[in-house]
Amino acid sequence: MKHNDKISLNESKEPITIDKTDRKILYELDLNGRATYSEIGKKVRLSKQSVKERISNLEKIGIIRQYFALIGVHRMGYTFYRIDMKLQNTTEEKEKYIVNYMLKLPKVISVLKLHGKYDLAVLFLTKDIIETDNNIRDIKWKFNKYIKDTNFSVITTHTRYKYGFLADKKQEDKEVFMGRELADIKLSPVENKVLTILGWDGRIPLTKIAKQLGKSISSIKNAIKNLKNKKVLLGYTTLIATQMLGYLHYKVFINFQNPSEEKERKLEYYFRINPNIIYKTKSLGRSDIECEIIVESVTEFKNIVREMQYQFSDLIRVIDFYLVLDQLDTNYYPV
């Protein structure tokens, strides 16, 4: 499956207003991108048809961008790495070209459009350091005159929390941990193809997968069961265009002073219970730990950062951040 070539880098227009029921539906789809209309209806107290119509409308206006599977790539020996780039001497058309080129590179998981120290972040999947080096060299050589600065990070741990801010609550047990130790889990050809499809479209009906692969529905169900048993298929979620709803999405980088396991655990617990924090990442690179925060205002973001600095003053030395303007495609298994 290929990424969509028609990427718009225009800034968001006026925020779209949705009601509390739509927000609850988005929250349920974030918990489980494959939840049925009936299952969601029971949670939000609507009929199956009403839920279907609301979801269809959210898809049509672009708030729901994509459904995708959450995949434990480390279980198969893969590692994430990220390149942050500061651009120069570009136009809107040139930036579109650069982004579309990045999306077509081997094993690209996602491209983020940023504001701040960097303009783009490209997240890759690899188990081959040579392939990694080739991607980096390709980018630098092809766009040398447009790249002012780059930063390289290897992601060792990636945890996804749920979008508690949509429903003003946080479910501590609803986190998905992707990393840390590498394993060598083997997949059958069918399991591998099913995982690739679900990585790009987490809500695709099993009948369509079966038809696409020329297999029976029972064999597809069995492949999915095996992927879950191998702890490779970890769940399903939804890419929600929160910027269209007026939210601000920040990527936060934290460096430690006098660290200890106990202090770090307390900070990670804070991440887990805060409804505005949606990701925790550990990497070999620019920071000791990262998190992503979605808020309604700059003031709300400042308050969360200030609270972290006060509560964990004996651990946190420096906090840096940039604003995520847009997330272009997500596929945790682009192989």
Q: Is residue 136 part of a domain?
A: no
CATH of the domain at 289: 3.30.70.920
Query: Stretch 78-104: mean pLDDT, rounded?
Result: 93
Same domain, 217 and 252: no
Instruction: Provide the mean pLDDT of the chain.
Output: 91
Same domain, 294 and 250: yes
Same domain, 223 and 278: no
Q: What are phi and psi of 217, to 5 degrees?
A: -65, -35
CATH of the domain at 54: 1.10.10.10
Residue finishing a domain among 206, 229, 252: 229
Same domain, 251 and 317: yes
Q: Is residue 9 part of a domain?
A: no
Same domain, 248 and 321: yes
Residue finishing a domain among 199, 229, 259: 229
Q: Is residue 15 part of a domain?
A: no
Cα 140 off chain centre by = 25
Same domain, 278 and 320: yes
Where does residue 116 rank: exposed (0-12), middle (13-18), buried (19+ CB within 10 A)? middle
Residue finishing a domain among 5, 37, 60: 60
Same domain, 265 and 218: no
Query: Which pLDDT score, from 0 to 100, does residue 285 have?
Result: 84
Number of domains in the chain: 3
Q: What is the 3-state secondary structure (H, E, C) of 60-87?
A: HCCCEEEEEEEECHHHHCCEEEEEEEEE
DSSP string of 100-141, one letter each residue: HHHHTSTTEEEEEEEESS-SEEEEEEES-HHHHHHHHHHHHH
Q: Is residue 203 part of a domain?
A: yes
Same domain, 307 and 248: yes
Q: Is residue 294 part of a domain?
A: yes
Q: For 193-228, what is each residue's pLDDT tens digit?
A: 999 999 999 999 999 999 999 999 999 999 999 999
Let me know: does 87 contact 117? Beta carbons within 8 Å.
Answer: no
Q: For 63-77, what is each residue's pLDDT tens digit?
A: 999 999 999 999 999
Write down the H helix ranges in 163-297.
Answer: 189-200, 206-213, 217-229, 261-273
Question: 11 Cβ partners below 8 Å, 6+ apart?
Answer: 325
CA distance 309 to 216: 55
Beta bridge partners of 64: 240
Max Cα-Cα span within the chain: 58
Is pLDDT of 117 > 80? yes
Q: Is residue 170 part of a domain?
A: no
Supply the range of the domain harboring residue 255: 244-325
Same domain, 253 and 319: yes
Q: Is residue 118 part of a domain?
A: no
Let me know: does 71 contact 200? Beta carbons within 8 Å.
Answer: no
In percent, how much of the chain has pLDDT > 70? 95
3-state SS assignment for residue 224: helix
Query: Stretch 113-133: mean pLDDT, rounded?
Result: 91
CA distance 81 to 123: 6
Is pLDDT of 9 > 90? no
Same domain, 199 and 258: no
**Which of 38, 25, 34 minimizes the C-alpha distance to 204?**
34
Same domain, 219 and 262: no
In percent, how much of the chain has pLDDT > 90? 79
Query: Stretch 4-10: mean pLDDT, rounded?
Result: 40
Query: Which pLDDT score, from 0 to 100, does residue 171 have?
Result: 64
- The model's pTM: 0.90
Q: For 228-275, what is each residue's pLDDT tens digit?
A: 999 999 999 999 999 999 999 999 999 999 999 999 999 999 999 999
Same domain, 251 and 310: yes
Q: Is residue 79 part of a domain?
A: no
**Which of 143, 155, 154 minimizes the C-alpha distance to 119?**
143
Is pLDDT of 1 > 70? no
